[in-house]
Structures are given as structure tokens and as C-alpha cells.
Amino acid sequence: MHVTLFFLTAAMIVFVMMVFFRGTFFVEAVVPTITFFTATAHTQNLLSIR
């Protein structure tokens, strides 16, 4: 659970930072976010296997 909260918080920080620095470059903000959540899903799968 703590790992999930950490990933969600990190994803929010990354998203806010990208929106703040990149402005309205929506694609450059969404693509890394999707990649990050995909990695989070794989991490949750590995944790659930244990």
C-alpha cells in the first residue's frame, strides 16, 4: 500500500512539474505519465505475486 501511495504521489509531482515547465505541451506531459502508470501497474503485479 505504501508503495502505491509513493508511486501515485510521484506521478502527481511529475505531472505538475511537466505542466508547470512545459506549459501547454499536452502530449509531452501525457506520454511520460502513461509510461509511469504502466510501470506502476507492473510493480503492483510483481508485489501481488509475492
Contact 48, 1 (CB under 8 A): no
Distance CA 11, CA 37 (A): 8
Residue 28 is which amino acid? E
* pLDDT at res. 22: 61
Of residues 41 and 2, which shows the higher confidence score? Answer: 41
Residue 15 in contact with residue 26, Cβ under 8 Å?
Answer: no
pTM above 0.85, yes or no: no
Q: How many domains does the chain have?
A: 1
Q: Which domain holds residue 26?
A: 2-49
pLDDT single digits (tens) 8-40? 888 888 788 777 766 556 666 677 788 888 888
Banded pLDDT at 4 (limits 50, 70, 90): confident
pLDDT in the model for residue 37:
86
